[in-house]
Each structure stands twice: as structure tokens, then as C-alpha cells.
Amino acid sequence: MLSVNAGELIAARKEGRAVGAFTTYNMETTIALCRAAEAAGSPAVLQLGASAFRHVDLGVLTRLVVDVAAASGASLGVHLDHCRDLAEIQACLDLGCSSVMIDGSHLPFEENVELTRAAVSAGHKAGVWVEGELGAIPGEEDRSVSARPEALFTDPAQAAQFVERTGVDALAVQIGNVHGFSADGGRLDLDLLADIAARVPVPLVLHGASGIEDDVLRAAIHRGVAKINVNAELRRACFGALDETLAPAREDGYHLQRVLNVMRDSVAAAAEDRIRLFAGLPRGGQET
């Protein structure tokens, strides 16, 4: 069911937990993420990367993900990630997305405020929550390339002003996080995060959480992060499983369904582990 609304994120921040948000690309990864949330008994957000629409028709992918998530018994959200285009946001709202992100982080502050305000207005009109970003997060969503955070960390005072002026429901911050795997294991500036959280009342979002140590992620959640985006880590788990499957599946009469099932199951397992970590649930028999 599509029930991850703004209240769910506010509750998560208050309760010291975070909702995992994962990029989905096709039917297998969509089913995988629903199963992961069902198995963990905890909410999750399925994310449509605006970049995916270069490869798959927006309507086809969005309808698929909305339909599969709505039919699941788990509490889920379908979220448009890193969108820079108001027309694309409206298209996804019309197709039933339960939240959207407007990314004006590449723009000068005033232009980011203006673009984000327009997206918030469209989102709230459709009854959904809107995520904005202040401080650019380097790297690419869909490919892990070497990227370094350079200078554009989120300024706490500016963040408070940004949230107040835009009415945004959640704020993506740049505190040392990068998209893809970070070369240094993902050092986060937790003091900066605490400072931002002290001034910004809305739930904070951490992008690029792949490869960051579990204890650091727990500390970030403790300081106000209520949504954590993970993508590269799931892709890596999927590739690892596929490496072991392709040869036997080829010998097994080019058994494509076997490959697709492995894609689904490997993503489900990796996502469930992250959902449990972020929710403070036991993982693999261990208390967190």
C-alpha cells in the first residue's frame, strides 16, 4: 500500500529511525523492494530516478511501480528522485507517485528556493510530500564513479531559511556523502548534521549511503536523518549474484528466468538488511 506520507517521516525522525529508500529499475527490482519491506515488516520507499526515464518510458515504469507497490501489504512509498523538471514532477504526480524530490541544488540559492516552492505547491495540491536539496551531492545515481564532495556542504542557517521559505517536507543534506561508493568509506560530518538538525524542523534525508559504516549511519539517524537513500550497495549485491548465475544459467539452456529471479532475490536480501538496520530491527539473528 502507498502509505509512506509526510507523517511517517516525521514519526521516524521523532522515534530515532529512518526509512530506507531504494532505486528501482524494472519489475524484478520493484518486486524485490516490496518483498524486502514485507519481510522486514517495516516501511520502505521505492525510488524512480529521473535518469531512468532516458531508458524506459516514464509512464510505463511509473505505472508498473505504483501498481506493484499499491498491491503489496507493506507500507511503501513511490518517490520521484532527483527531478529538475516541473513537468516531469506533474506527470509523476498524475500517475500516482506518493512523493517527489525537486533537486535545485545546482542552482543559485534564490533560484533553488523559487523552483522548490513551485514543486511544493504542485506536490501539496496532489496531497503528497516534497523533498528538496540544499548543498550539492556529487556523483551519479546510477553508476558508481569516483566522486568527492567539494565545498558544497549544506549551511545550517541557509537550510533553516530554505525550509521555511519553500515549505518543503524533507530536506536532503550534503554532509560529506557522495552518490555511489565513497573512496574514503564515507566520512560524514556528524557535527554539521547535528547543527542542521537543530535548526531544521523537517526530517532530513541522506543520499549516497552506500559504503558508509553501519555505526555512522546509526549516528546520522540519531541526529535527525529519517530517510536514507541506498542504490550502489544494492547494485553491487545484484552484480555479485549475477556473476555466479550467468554461466550456469547459460549452460541450463539460456535460462533467463533463473537470471531474473536471482536479480530479484539478491536485491531483496540487500534491501531488507538496510531496512532492518535503519529501523533498528534485528538483522541476521543479531540485535542492532
Q: Which residues are catalytic?
A: 81
- Shortest distance (Å) from residue 188 CB to Zn ion: 15
207 versus 235: smaller Cβ distance to Zn ion: 207
The DSSP secondary-structure symbol of 154 reads P
Contact segment (CB under 5 A) with Zn ion among 5-13, 144-152, 195-203, 204-212 equals 204-212
Torsion of CA 74, 75, 81, 85, to 10 degrees: 120
- Shortest distance (Å) from residue 176 CB to Zn ion: 14
Percent helix, strand and coil across the chain, each to the nearest 5: 50, 15, 35
207 versus 276: smaller Cβ distance to Zn ion: 207
* Residue 146 φ/ψ region, left for φ over 0, alpha for ψ in the -120 to 50 degree band, beta for the rest: beta
What x/- string results for residues 47 through 86 when contact with Zn ion is judged by CB under 5 A?
A: ----------------------------------------
88 versus 265: smaller Cβ distance to Zn ion: 88
Which residues, 6 or more positions from 224, have their beta carbon under 8 angstroms from its beta carbon? 13, 193, 194, 196, 197, 200, 203, 204
- Cα 103 from Cα 115, distance rounded (Å): 9
Tell me the three state secondary structure of residue 54.
helix
- Shortest distance (Å) from residue 286 CB to Zn ion: 29
Pairing of strands 225-230, 76-83: unpaired
CA diameter of the chain:
61
- Shortest distance (Å) from residue 141 CB to Zn ion: 6
Contact segment (CB under 5 A) with Zn ion among 4-12, 50-58, 207-215, 279-287 equals 207-215
Contact segment (CB under 5 A) with Zn ion among 57-65, 157-165, 201-209, 235-243 equals 201-209
Tell me the three state secondary structure of residue 23.
strand
The verdict on 274 binding Zn ion (CB under 5 A) reads no
- Cα 188 from Cα 196, distance rounded (Å): 13
68 versus 232: smaller Cβ distance to Zn ion: 232
- Shortest distance (Å) from residue 22 CB to Zn ion: 12
- Shortest distance (Å) from residue 103 CB to Zn ion: 8
Partnered with residue 206 across adjacent β-strands are 173, 228
The verdict on 17 binding Zn ion (CB under 5 A) reads no
150 versus 251: smaller Cβ distance to Zn ion: 150
173 versus 277: smaller Cβ distance to Zn ion: 173
Dihedral over Cα of 160, 166, 169, 174: its sign: negative
Contact segment (CB under 5 A) with Zn ion among 19-27, 111-119, 206-214, 241-249 equals 206-214
The verdict on 227 binding Zn ion (CB under 5 A) reads no
Interface with Zn ion (CB under 5 A), residue from 13, 207, 264, 274: 207
- Interface with Zn ion: number of residues (CB under 5 A): 1
**14, exposed or middle or buried, with CB in 10 Å at 0-12, 13-18, 19+?**
exposed
Nearest residue to Zn ion, scored by beta-carbon proximity? 207
- Interface residues with Zn ion (CB under 5 A) are 207
